[in-house]
Structure 1
Amino acid sequence: MLLLALDTATPAVTVALHDGSAVIAESSDLDARRHGELLLPAVHRTLKEAGTELAAVTEIVVGAGPGPYTGLRVGLVTAATFGSALGVPVHGLCTLDGIAYAAGLAGLDGPFVVATDARRKEVYWARYDDARTRVTEPAVDHPADLAERVAGLPAVGAGALLYPAAFADVPAGMPEYQSAGALASLAAEKLACGEELPPPRPLYLRRPDAKVPANYKVVTPK
């Protein structure tokens, strides 16, 4: 197996290759506004580091969010295009699950929360019993509305760092953003256990930021 993983649901544009046993190459850039420019070069660098070609990929996994509409769709569309061109399966995994898995690799154990920045003074978040077990559906909320629900739980992710009043316990050394290496490792582990992975359907959780202007005038030809 040669699994290509990519994620653009957070400011991290991240790509990794996994051979079924371990991550063999990974590339990440941090830029919340240039996902479309950075993703394909990151894929190229990762393939070059691994000494292989895109044609050798046998599986693809993409972070399905939640995340801002524009950035998230870059990864999903790219994964779908690669899958169609190569004729290989494309899977989707919750981006928060990848961050949770990375937190487990960094030593976090027991119940905790993952929170990423959803903009508009909100966070995307979910609760976990451990690094592999999510116990709530991904959601988007104002941090102040979560304070009682996450009280006493360690929290990881950039969203937790942004709102310390709501997320009081943020352990040092934990991931802030997605790592495609962690996403690939989680997917490879699930596939090795015979688990069927979800399709790559986006978790937007809310409408896009772009809106039709107020008092928009439709011009029709005479």
Structure 2
Amino acid sequence: MLLLAVDTATPAVTVALHDGEAVLAESNQIDARRHGELLLPSVDKVLAEAGLKLDAVTGIVVGVGPGPYTGLRVGLVTASTFASVLGVPVYGLCTLDGLAYAAGTAGIEGPFTVATDARRKEVYWARYEDPRTRVGEPAVDRPADIAEQVAGLPAVGQGALLYPEVFPDARGPEHQSAAALVSLAAERLAAGAAFENADGVPPAPLYLRRPDAQVPKNYKVVTPK
């Protein structure tokens, strides 16, 4: 088994390789505006560090969000393209699940909350019973609107760190890690667990809201004379 994981659902452009036993190499860069520019060089860097070629990969793991439209689709399209070219399966995992798994390796057992920055003064968030068990579906809300639901719980992720009045016990990790995401995927594969997408079907993105870009409503139609 050789899994290549990518995630661009957050400001982190993160890539990792996992051989079914351990992470072989990883790359993490924080730049919310350069997902498309940084992702492929990061893949090349990770493969080179591991001394492997892309055609050795037997599966692709991708974070499906929730995340902003533009950044998230970079990782999803790249993952689906690699999977199609290589003829290997692609496994979609919730990005928040990766952060939760990383929280477990940092010593947080649960219950706790994961929150990432959704911009517009909102967070993408979910509650977890433990680092491998999410409670319910991810959501996007203003922090003040979920204060009662997350009260008294530790919280991880950039979204939690941005709003200490709602998440007073905010901790690291701050950013997503493909190493954590692919480690979780390897565990699930070994256990025969289900993923966000059915086998052979490209994973669907968790946008949770409409994209910022919209078609103008009152644009002028220009016709040839």
Q: Which residue of 1 aligns with 2:151?
A: 151
Give the alignment's TM-score, normalised by structure 1. 0.97
Q: Which amino acid aligns with 2:142?
A: H
1:39, distance to aligned residue in structure 2 (A): 0.1
Q: How many residues align?
A: 220
1:167 aligns with 2:162: no
Q: Which residue of 2 aligns with 1:182?
A: 180
Q: Which residue of 2 aligns with 1:220?
A: 223
Q: Which residue of 2 aligns with 1:46?
A: 46
1:219, distance to aligned residue in structure 2 (A): 2.3
Q: Which residue of 1 aligns with 2:120?
A: 120
1:169, distance to aligned residue in structure 2 (A): 1.1
Q: Which residue of 2 aligns with 1:203?
A: 206
Q: Which residue of 2 aligns with 1:192?
A: 190
Provide the rounded CA distance (Å) in 1 between the counterparts of 2:223 and 2:96: 45
Provide the rounded CA distance (Å) in 2 between the counterparts of 1:121 and 1:218: 36
Q: Which amino acid aligns with 1:205?
A: L
1:27-81 CA distances to partner (integer Å, 9 max, x unpaired)?
1111000000000000000000000000000011100000000000000000000
Q: Which amino acid aligns with 1:140?
A: V
SS of 1:207's equivalent in the other structure is: coil
Provide the rounded CA distance (Å) in 2 between the counterparts of 1:121 and 1:170: 17
Provide the rounded CA distance (Å) in 1 between the counterparts of 2:208 and 2:130: 23
Give the fraction of aligned pairs with identical amino acids, expressed as a percent: 77
1:216, distance to aligned residue in structure 2 (A): 1.9
Q: Which amino acid aligns with 2:156?
A: V
1:178-202 CA distances to partner (integer Å, 9 max, x unpaired)?
1000000000000000113222110
SS of 1:136's equivalent in the other structure is: strand
SS of 2:128's equivalent in the other structure is: strand
Structure 1, unmatched stretches of 5+, are none
1:21 aligns with 2:21: yes
1:212, distance to aligned residue in structure 2 (A): 2.5
Structure 2, unmatched stretches of 5+, are 198-202
Q: Which amino acid aligns with 2:168?
A: A
Provide the rounded CA distance (Å) in 1 between the counterparts of 2:106 and 2:162: 20
Provide the rounded CA distance (Å) in 2 between the counterparts of 1:33 and 1:218: 32
Following TM superposition, the consecutive aligned residue runs of length 4 or more in structure 1 with deviations greater than 6 angstroms are none
CA RMSD of aligned residues (A): 0.9
Q: Which amino acid aligns with 1:195?
A: A
